[in-house]
Structure 1
Amino acid sequence: MNVGEHPTAQTHAHGTVLTSAPQDAPVDRATAAARRVIDAMLRTDRGNANLDRVAEELNSIADHLEEHAPEVAERLIDMWGGEGVTRHDPVTGPENAIAPPLVLAGLDDGSVQGVVTLTLPYQGPPGCVHGGVSALILDHVLGVANAWGGKAGMTAQLNVRYHRPTPLFEPLTITGKQMSVEGRKIHTVGDIKTETGDVCVSVEGLFIDAAVPRPR
């Protein structure tokens, strides 16, 4: 699916849902379990946990999954099919264990918005979100905002400003909005705010209307 298409968009109380929320499907439940493992590994007592046994069991699970995996090239194409990138990307993808995942809705004012709580896997400074993670999230949110605004493109430049540390373990509101289109140039802005409305990170993005390269 092109990021400019939303064949599965649903009406929500707070707008039109543009990305795939986790579902009660085996792959979504398995991915959620993998997120628990990632988080728990960062919190576990390294001296008391039986990590040799954990490693053995996790390797066994990985072996099982790899036995049932198609060729990488085939999987790349499949990731663009159906709902496409919204189920596999590292920000909103419910089938990607490194995604929070963030669910985004399109609002009547032309913006997109979602709320997410980030935990230890996304830490930079103690108790704070890694700056690179913030930039990753905003880059993706701006891309979805462009699709919602009617003119999608590829990232050419991001100007990211860090106003204050972004806290872990607290609801964060992520917003993006397409501001203007000048020929092939698309200008989009976004930010990350705390529950009290403080801006932690803001971004101005330049995108170029261009065909997205896809594996064949």
Structure 2
Amino acid sequence: MTAGTEQPELTSPGTGTGIDAAADAARRVIESLLRSGDRGGTDLDTVADRLNAVADDLDRGAPDLAARMVHMWRGDGVTRHDPVTGPENAIAPPLHLTGCEDGSVEATVELGLAHQGPPGYVHGGMSALLLDHTLGVANHWAGLSGMTAELTLRYLRPTPLFTPLTVAAHQVSVDGRRIRTSGSISADGRECVRAEGLFVATHPARPR
């Protein structure tokens, strides 16, 4: 794929209905539970019963796991279920990546309590997850993608919560099946985390 001038979105924007709306609601529940803790005025035992009842309803109507896996991977479009950009995955922020004219990809996201590590800052593992995925999307945008073989991160400064973060990446070089890609997470114009990745141009078979 060649980068164009329209800066297309490379991840699903979500529909706002159905499973996407339910996942949005689940994200809100996760954040609200963390915000409330056990010192709020809400009866959390009752909340747990209500949430378990919702989960029971979902389980009763769920398809066979193998069938669901096939459905998840149908077609050749952008996946909707991954833990970084998937609108139907409640643990995804989600990140909305766009392709830029210079061949890079970029997104802005704000993370809350669900992604906290040190007090007031993003967990380092969450930063690694965001960057691993963003580097992979940068490879797809550049025209050759693959599986992560090596990911090296430098944590330059703590990454703040409740602050717009810029997550960006670009493909650096291709040598046969070996792809090198770099990226970063920045806040207020300052790099917080820098990543260098080595990818191998291979893909596992999709469930059938």
Q: How many residues align?
A: 205
SS in 2 for 1:17: coil
Instruction: Quote the Cα distance in structure 1 between the aligned partners of 2:16 and 2:36.
Output: 28
The offset of 1:45, in angstroms, is: 4.2
Superposed, which structure 2 residues align to 1:1-216 within 5 Å?
15-47=7-39, 48-82=41-75, 86-194=79-187, 196-216=188-208
Give structure 1 regions of 4+ aligned residues with deviation exceeding 6 angstroms: none
Aligned partners of 1:56, 1:189: CA distance in 2, in Å?
45
Q: Is the 8 A contact 2:12 2:78 kept in 1?
A: no
Amino acid at match of 2:193: V
Structure 1 residue matching 2:27: 3-state secondary structure:
helix
Q: CA deviation at 1:11?
A: 8.3
Cα distance in 1 for residues equivalent to 2:37 and 2:74:
41
TM-score with structure 2 length normalisation?
0.94
> What are the ranges of 5 or more consecutive residues in structure 1 without an aligned counterpart?
5-9
Query: Sequence identity, in percent?
Result: 56
For 2:84, the aligned partner's letter is V
Q: After TM superposition, give the deviation of residue 24 of structure 1 in Å.
A: 2.3
What amino acid is aligned across from residue 51 of structure 1 in structure 2?
L
TM-score by length of 1: 0.91
8 Å CA contact retained: 2:183, 2:195: yes
SS at match of 2:144: coil
**Compared CA separation, residues 78 and 156, structure 1 to 2 (3 A):** same
Q: Do 2:26 and 2:90's aligned partners in 1 also have CA atoms closer than 8 Å?
A: yes
Mapped partners of 2:5, 2:103: distance in 1: 15
